[in-house]
Amino acid sequence: MSQLQKYRTLFLDRDGVINARIPFAYIERPADFQFLEDAPKAIAQFTQQFDYIVIVTNQAGIGKGIMSSEDLDAVHAHMLLQIEAAGGQIDAVYHCPELAEDNPNCRKPNTGMALQAQYDFPDIDFETSIMVGDSASDIEFGKRLGMLTVLIEGKVGEEEVLKDLEVDYRFGALVELACYMLE
């Protein structure tokens, strides 16, 4: 059995981890949202293994006026419905609508979304949490809180930075992490 079995909370980035990124664009409506290979199946497996599964996602498209909070809510409702249909359960979805240049506390790598999750679910312990993301800011977010970090490789435009990034585990897809956890 994998040594990851002792972890109780799973934090997931959304774009590039659960769904395909649209290069230089945003997931503005449910029709834009395309799950990555077997992501709902992986989340269904994680539902059996973790006390909490939390999505933490930067969504600057709102801050840029490209989409509204209501648009994002529709995307997330669509995503959650499909995850639930596959047998998975997401306990909460947190997003940061602000722009990176404003350096808000909620925007990864800052820790505001995780602290909000811990406030909402007081028994979340970051030392028994895993952060899964596809970017350097996701990994930094996890490290700032003492989480185990998992990089989903393949983010276009960050290859050089990610190549040398210090991370606990690397996988090509979320489903690979799920399979590893079964070993």
Which residues, listed in sequence order, are joined to residue 148 by a DSSP beta bridge?
130
Point out the residues that are catalytic. 13, 15
CA distance 61 to 58: 9
Using DSSP, how many helices (H) and how many strands (E) does the chain show? 7, 6
Cα 146 to its chain centre, rounded Å, is: 16
Query: Sheet of 92-96: strands edge to edge?
Result: 92-96, 52-58, 9-12, 129-133, 148-152, 169-171
CA distance 26 to 148: 28
